Amino acid sequence: MDTTSSITAGHAVLETVIGFMGIAWSEKGLIRLCLPERSRETVERRLLRHGGVSVSTAQPPWVVELIAAIKAYAAGEDVDFSAVPVDLDGVDDFRLAIYDAARKLSFGETTTYGELAKTAGHAGLARETGAALGANPVPLVIPCHRILAAGGKIGGFSAPGGSATKEKMLAMEGVRVGPSPPAQVSFGF
């Protein structure tokens, strides 16, 4: 039996231009994605502390493609992760609806927690939407960095580096967050 094609779960740590990132997958799809850290060891520890992460490093073809896509995104390319299979076993219906709505946001597109809640069929649950996104196991693929607080404020971000990481990711996508630049001074004539 060819065991290389039957290995269906594993993990990988990859070096990108913005730091070390990690992914873990099951036989159904991606189960974990770690955003940039400074060391390979830190990412490896973060991945392996989660239940269900296999120690295998054999990569099925879709994982090889995903790694290339993550590296391209980190290098500033417009990448669409919407077709990446994601295994969200054990996630409740509310979070599934929020994650599904978030996955529909394309590169450089943002919305607010309140608007995302409404899109997902849960109007009025902005705070709960923020909590659901804070528990997102696969950021970037489920692009929680594209969800802003009311008034276009950056909002929270549970990944390493917090909201500074979120702001950097948005900037990579051409999104400027924060106060508008000052209006042009009048000419005075």
Catalytic residues: 144
Nearest to 169 by CA among 186, 150, 148, 151: 148
Cα separation, 30 vs 140, whole angstroms = 12
- Residue 34 backbone phi and psi in degrees, to 5: -105, 125
Structure tokens at 183: 């209006």
Cα separation, 136 vs 142, whole angstroms = 7
Phi-psi group of 96: left, alpha or beta (phi > 0 → left; psi -120 to 50 → alpha; rest → beta): alpha
Give the DSSP per-residue string, 18-56. TEEEEEEE-SSSEEEEEEEES-HHHHHHHHHTSTT--S-
